[in-house]
A = this chain, B = another copy of it.
Amino acid sequence: MSFPHAKRPALDGLFKPTSIAIMGASSRSAWAKTVLGNLRAGGYGGEVRLVGRRVETVFGLPTVAAMADLDIVPDVAFILVRAEFVLGALKEAADFGVTRFVVLAAGFGEAGTEGKTLEHEISEYCRERGLVLLGPNNMGFVNFSGRVFGFGLSVPETPVGGISLVSQSGALAYQMIAHMPTRLVGLDHVITVGNEAVLDVAACIDYLIDQDSTKVICLYVHAIRSPLEFATACRRAALAGKPVIVFKAGFGEQSARAAVAHTGGLVGDDRIIEAVLQQVGAVRCTSLEDLVTTAALFEGYGELPGVRAAVVTGAGSACEVFTDRADRLGLDLPTINEETADALRAAGLPTFATAQNPLDVTAAVTIDAKEILPELARILADDPSVDILITQGIGLATPTYLNPDRRGLAEAHLRLAASTSKPVLAFADMAMNADPADMELRLELGTPPVIESIDRGLEALHALDRWSQRRRQLLNEGELSTDTPEITIPDDRRWSEATARQVLSQFGVPIAPSTLVTSVDDIGKVSAAYGFPLVAKICSPEIVHKSDIGGVILNIRDEEEARAAFKTLTERAREHHPDARIEGVLLGPMRPPGVELIMGVTRDSEWGLVLALGLGGVWVEVLEDVALRPLPVSRHDVSEMLSELRAAPLLDGARGTEPADREAIADAVLSFAGAAWALREAGLEAMESNPVVVRGADVEALDVLVIFAQPPPMVA
């Protein structure tokens, strides 16, 4: 369930409160001790009040027995009691006027029927009263920049930076807090959402988009509980220029098991998630380390002007690793021009080195002639084909054991960055073992972060480049038009192919011609109009899988065969489905072969209507080579879907067929998707056209099927 956007300002009071009450405070409560200790260690500047059963002094602060005894109405109440007492405490505080809560206790939705009931009561209560609640089954939050350490595990000394994290796992959030400084990056907000009884991930993303201190939003999620709000928030973040970087856990069968034990969330289909994240302009990382590196890259360097990278190193092996990895990712390491090459040689590049990109300045420079290095790097960066410069051996990327002069290194990086208009990225050569003191230096001098390893760094660069492209696309396309033409939709929600053809045609879906023949006497006229060969199909709303009963006859060569086919088809239909309404026989011309596409829409329980696009035959059946996008989709989405298909070369005529006109395909798919979108409220369950035959710019659906949600039909 989602927190209504209209109440977004309320979150400021949650994450930046001027006063906090801790309920369940006692000298024996480890939680109270930890939260209080964190607030103090973090330098919380607001008021803190304690409410506990026994009136005592807890860690130097007095407790009161009840909320009503407090001198102020706190902005937030941390409810640190066991699950069964949470609702009572909530009501007590709400009656006193508190509107924002943090509940840490486990034992709710993740813990069986009883817990689910408890959680439902809490969320219903909050909804009715318009209350904000973070949790339960979480660890609270830390607002590093705002100095509010409202966290259930002892927060270590952590530098402040522009990376925020929203996590469904408290343990993971804690791990990240501890881990980030060792990667020389700093944090802004860390918010653990637990079971999301009220506040969900989407609401937190929305809040973070509005915080100037947050530059990147990282997510650790195993279940996306409010799909549409999630998608909207991600899209808004992309438009706002703040990447949402997602680590999604729990995508397999075994995962589902572990996730259930953890928070009771439903685990969605991984391929749909992938499609959703691409569509909404989020970045997906498949390892936590990649999440950190990608976030660090953006936090430190912002949106890059491009990713055509020049690379300068002191080792040929590093050049090779850079080049290999760039090749794999399709990143461009541009060829430098002759002037740049000449300038490099003139500036002192050794004669036995090659003036090229990636540039190996050789050990001769890195050991004996260090002072030349920044000049060589600058010259390389200034080549017109270059967007960014990646360096090794400059700045804090250099390990301490190789150069203990950390300040000198950091300043050299800054000098180099100042000497060129191109961003200068410092890559560590291998998995980093960072000196924690470097982080202080970074914050003091404003040095950009070190990007961990060639592999992870280029992967991150590639991910952010895709994000930038998608962001530009989203900025261009604006709101997707979801206008639908005024078309009358038949009331009866069980459509034969004839009905489906008639409706979809009105939406502009190109469908191969055919005529519904209801009497054998009409065959002469219809077949004369089309010419031979013909195809005949039984037409009945109850017969969905025609081929299974021999309900399709191909290659009808003359009128006599057509009459026979009519008879055969109606007989077969009556035999297999005696109760089916037989509307007649669809008669149409056989079409020449071409590339065969499949387009379909299905209703996903989480994401609603999802469009699927693929090529026929082995592609779908064996390779499961299908591109997915939730509806509605833009023309760009469709063109992206076509490019994602491994079978894409076939569209371009890879097997000697005529190259397909991708725009014509997009027209057909968009009409099809538009029809599905228009039918969504009528209860569309599935829609499919298989095959759609493509010959150049000629795109024709040979078959259409539309199914609405309803009790199972009597006959299948």
Contacts and interface: CB of A to CB of B under 8 A. Distances in A.
A518 interface: no
A72 to B, nearest CB: 32
A126 interface: no
Interface stretch (A351-359, A471-479, A574-582, A658-666): A351-359
A288 interface: yes
Contacts of A649: 622
A433 interface: yes
A597 to B, nearest CB: 15
Nearest to A324: B255
A348 interface: no
Interface in A153-199: 153, 156, 167, 169-172, 175, 178-179, 182-183
A709 to B, nearest CB: 31
A228 interface: no
Contacts of A555: none
Interface string A493-527: 00000000000000000000000000000000000
Given A169-B316, A315-B175, A317-B249, A261 B360 contact: yes
B430 A263 contact: no
Interface string A305-340: 000000000111111110110111000010000000
A455 interface: yes
A173 to B, nearest CB: 9
Of listed A170, A333, A356, A433, residue having the most chain B CB within 10 A:
A433
Contacts of A654: 621-622
A467 to B, nearest CB: 22
Contacts of A326: 254
A250 interface: yes
Contact of A319 (B262, B321, B430): B262
Contacts of A249: 317, 320-321, 324
Interface in A344-402: 352-354, 356, 358, 360, 363, 367-368, 399, 401-402
Contacts of A170: 363
Nearest to A455: B287
Interface string A580-598: 0000000000000000000
Nearest to A436: B433
A179 to B, nearest CB: 5
A263 B352 contact: no
A167 B249 CA distance: 38
Contacts of A183: 431
Of listed A319, A324, A455, A622, residue having the most chain B CB within 10 A:
A324
Contact of A288 (B182, B328, B430): B430
A530 interface: no
Given A261-B316, A358-B258, A433-B434, A363 B171 contact: yes
Contacts of A429: 175
Contacts of A288: 321, 430, 453, 455
Nearest to A429: B175
A542 interface: no
Copies of this chain present: 2
A257 B222 contact: no
A220 interface: yes
Nearest to A256: B323
A251 interface: yes
B317 A262 contact: yes
A326 to B, nearest CB: 7
A171 B317 contact: yes
A429 B171 CA distance: 11
A289 interface: yes
Contacts of A106: 352
A320 B222 contact: yes
Contacts of A259: 316, 320
B169 A317 contact: yes
A618 interface: yes
A509 B106 CA distance: 68
Nearest to A621: B655
A433 B182 contact: yes
A156 B315 CA distance: 18
A401 B289 contact: no
A646 B621 CA distance: 12
A552 interface: no
Contacts of A251: 324, 327
Contacts of A353: 261
A252 B175 contact: no
A179 B316 contact: no
A266 interface: no
Contact of A360 (B179, B262, B319, B617): B262
Of listed A179, A261, A333, A399, residue having the most chain B CB within 10 A:
A261
A111 interface: yes
Contacts of A30: 367-368
Given A434-B433, A622-B647, A255 B317 contact: no
Interface in A403-455: 429-434, 452-453, 455
Contacts of A617: 655
Given A320-B258, A622-B655, A623-B646, A452 B430 contact: no
Nearest to A366: B171
A107 interface: yes
A258 B355 CA distance: 11
A606 to B, nearest CB: 18
A585 to B, nearest CB: 26
A434 B288 CA distance: 18
Interface in A612-648: 617-619, 621-623, 646-647
15 contacts: A30-B367, A172-B315, A175-B317, A178-B402, A249-B320, A250-B320, A252-B327, A255-B323, A255-B324, A261-B353, A262-B320, A431-B431, A431-B452, A618-B650, A621-B655
Given A169-B315, A175-B429, A255-B320, 9 more contacts: A171-B317, A171-B363, A178-B399, A249-B317, A250-B320, A262-B320, A263-B316, A287-B455, A288-B453
The 8 A-B pairs of least Cβ separation, nearest first, read A171-B315, A262-B316, A252-B327, A169-B317, A172-B317, A249-B320, A182-B433, A261-B354
